[in-house]
């Protein structure tokens, strides 16, 4: 039997009173028992010790032997013209590109397209929502420690790195963004290779606790990131008036499974439908050790501080800061907010609620009025400018590290 991280507490906690209460609440809300089979949870737990051997082999064979310049040149040529265009392409490069070019048996292109369309439709509301729910993730060491040890998402770097993440979301979700030669596919591969170097840097860090947390940017945490871009906002954004159907939520899960596959996120088990995704999220809450300590607190406090207005800033910056505090108050549990010592939202706590009627009305029109382009109901994808420009994505925050 493979090991699991010592901070993976699911099997000790699942039959205790807090887990039983959460299970009852989720069953009441969703009409399904969220408890997964023990073997499924163990498969997920063991994936915290799995990374990306295919990309790592390429880094070992090319980047660390021939140099980064030659490695980058090979990757860019293969992205632009195919791997056969690379003279004497090493076996590791061919294996890497086979994962991009060979369609897995489970892939359904139409479902991927629908999922990307839904993801675009959520626009900057998704950004603010994702930023808020990430704070709960900071309570776990495997999420917080990589950011703390690399110095990411503190001070001014938080803004800069967010823009990079927002650009990544745009690239992969644009129509055709994951097709051969498309920008989204290239971005996904570049991020995949960057993760190899970040992972190795963290594994060499004297404070990295492999036994407790697993490998950095593991398959286990990456799977949660995929749910953070699909299942979780699919239901969570209903509070803002979105009328995302079960079919659309499962389509976003499929879309993120394909994005993840291109990035080397290829878990042995992936939720097939929303009931299994619910089970994974239940397990993620039950297993948590919540042991990130001051690093988690610092990241959460830095998150909101990055929105705080400076002297001389205009009304827009003050409103942005207030609205983001409102999202945090709405989507982050009170116990977590108190643990971090986050500032109160005041009347801005009503911000998400006040947006709901307008969003609901827009969603109702989308679902009932035929699209002038296709003649079908709700079939038109949003314009790129409709909530997706990086400049307009001000109220947002990156997902956990495996999404970057």
What's the CA gap between 74 and 68, in Å, rounded?
10
| pLDDT given for residue 303 in this prediction | 87
| pLDDT given for residue 154 in this prediction | 66
Instruction: Indicate if 380 and 231 belong to the same structural domain.
Output: yes
Kindly state whether residue 77 falls inside one of the protein's structural domains: yes
What's the CA gap between 28 and 224, in Å, rounded?
23
Kindly state whether residue 1 falls inside one of the protein's structural domains: no
Nearest in space to 275 (alpha carbons), one of 46, 109, 29, 42: 29
Kindly state whether residue 3 falls inside one of the protein's structural domains: no
Kindly state whether residue 2 falls inside one of the protein's structural domains: no
* Range of the structural domain that residue 64 is part of: 53-101
Instruction: Indicate if 165 and 28 belong to the same structural domain.
Output: yes
User: Which runs of consecutive H residues, i.e. helices, occur in 82-175?
Assistant: 91-101, 109-137, 141-150, 156-173
SS3 377: strand
What's the CA gap between 85 and 164, in Å, rounded?
29
Instruction: Indicate if 247 and 333 belong to the same structural domain.
Output: yes
Instruction: Indicate if 299 and 158 belong to the same structural domain.
Output: yes
Instruction: Indicate if 344 and 241 belong to the same structural domain.
Output: yes
Nearest in space to 260 (alpha carbons), one of 398, 104, 395, 118: 104
| pLDDT given for residue 165 in this prediction | 79
Dihedral in degrees, nearest 10, Cα atoms 35, 37, 43, 48: 20
Taking only the tens place, the pLDDT of each residue in 75-123 is 999 999 999 999 999 999 999 999 999 999 999 999 999 999 999 999 9
The residue among 101, 132, 162 that closes a domain is 101
Q: Which residues of the chain have pLDDT under 70?
A: 152, 154-160, 162, 371-404
Instruction: Indicate if 64 and 160 belong to the same structural domain.
Output: no
SS3 390: helix
- Residues 166, 393 contacting (CB under 8 angstroms): yes
Kindly state whether residue 4 falls inside one of the protein's structural domains: no
Q: What is the pTM assigned to this prediction?
A: 0.90
Helix (H), strand (E) at residue 315: helix 315-331
SS3 380: coil
Instruction: Indicate if 242 and 161 belong to the same structural domain.
Output: yes
Instruction: Indicate if 125 and 221 belong to the same structural domain.
Output: yes
| pLDDT given for residue 372 in this prediction | 59
| pLDDT given for residue 104 in this prediction | 96
Output the CA–CA distances (angstroms, integers) from residue 74 to 92, 132, 235, 260, in the order listed. Answer: 11, 39, 42, 22
What pairs with residue 370 in β-bridges?
Answer: 377
Instruction: Indicate if 301 and 241 belong to the same structural domain.
Output: yes
Q: How many domains are there within the chain?
A: 2
The residue among 32, 66, 101 that closes a domain is 101
Instruction: Indicate if 203 and 282 belong to the same structural domain.
Output: yes
Alpha-carbon radius of gyration of the chain: 21
Kindly state whether residue 225 falls inside one of the protein's structural domains: yes
Kindly state whether residue 328 falls inside one of the protein's structural domains: yes
The residue among 101, 136, 162 that closes a domain is 101
Kindly state whether residue 5 falls inside one of the protein's structural domains: no
Secondary-structure percent of the chain, ordered helix, strand, coil, rounded to 5 = 65, 0, 30
Nearest in space to 47 (alpha carbons), one of 94, 2, 85, 103: 2
Instruction: Indicate if 172 and 74 belong to the same structural domain.
Output: no
Taking only the tens place, the pLDDT of each residue in 265-309 is 999 999 999 999 999 999 999 999 999 999 999 999 988 888 889
Nearest in space to 348 (alpha carbons), one of 402, 279, 395, 285: 395
């Amino acid at each position: 039997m493979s090991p699991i991280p010592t901070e993976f507490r699911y099997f000790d906690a699942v039959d205790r009173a807090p887990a039983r209460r959460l299970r009852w609440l989720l069953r009441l809300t969703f009409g399904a028992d969220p408890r997964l089979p023990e073997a499924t949870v163990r498969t997920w737990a063991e994936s915290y010790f799995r990374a990306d051997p295919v990309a790592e082999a390429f880094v070992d064979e090319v980047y660390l032997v021939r140099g980064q310049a030659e490695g980058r040149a090979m990757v860019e040529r293969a992205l632009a013209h195919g791997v056969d265009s690379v003279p004497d392409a090493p076996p590791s490069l061919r294996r890497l590109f086979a994962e991009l070019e060979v369609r897995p048996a489970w892939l359904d292109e139409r479902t991927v397209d629908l999922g990307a369309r839904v993801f675009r439709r959520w626009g900057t509301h998704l950004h603010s929502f994702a930023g808020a729910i990430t704070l709960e993730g900071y309570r776990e060491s495997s999420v917080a420690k990589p950011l703390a040890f690399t110095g990411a998402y503190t001070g001014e770097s938080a803004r800069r790195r967010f823009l990079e993440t927002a650009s990544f979301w745009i690239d992969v979700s644009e129509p055709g963004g994951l097709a051969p030669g498309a920008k989204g596919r290239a971005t996904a591969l570049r991020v995949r290779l960057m993760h190899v170097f970040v992972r190795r840097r963290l594994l060499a860090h004297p404070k990295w606790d492999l036994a407790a947390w697993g490998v950095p940017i593991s398959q286990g945490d990456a799977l949660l990131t995929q749910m953070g871009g699909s299942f979780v906002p699919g239901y969570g954004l209903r509070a803002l008036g979105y009328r995302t159907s079960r079919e659309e939520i499962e389509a976003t899960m499929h879309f993120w499974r394909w994005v993840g596959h291109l990035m080397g996120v290829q878990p042995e088990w992936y939720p097939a439908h929303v009931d299994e995704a619910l089970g994974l999220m239940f397990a993620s809450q039950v297993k948590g050790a919540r042991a990130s300590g001051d690093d988690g607190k610092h990241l959460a406090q830095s998150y909101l501080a990055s929105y705080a207005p400076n002297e001389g800033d205009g009304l827009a910056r003050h409103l942005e800061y207030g609205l983001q505090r409102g999202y945090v108050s709405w989507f982050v549990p009170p116990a977590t907010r108190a643990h971090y010592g986050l500032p109160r939202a005041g009347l801005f706590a009503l911000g998400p609620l006040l947006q709901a009627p307008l969003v609901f009305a827009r969603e109702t029109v989308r679902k009932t009025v035929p699209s002038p382009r296709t003649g079908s109901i709700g079939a038109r994808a949003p314009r790129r400018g409709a909530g997706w420009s990086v400049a307009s994505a001000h109220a947002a925050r990156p997902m956990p590290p495996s999404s970057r």
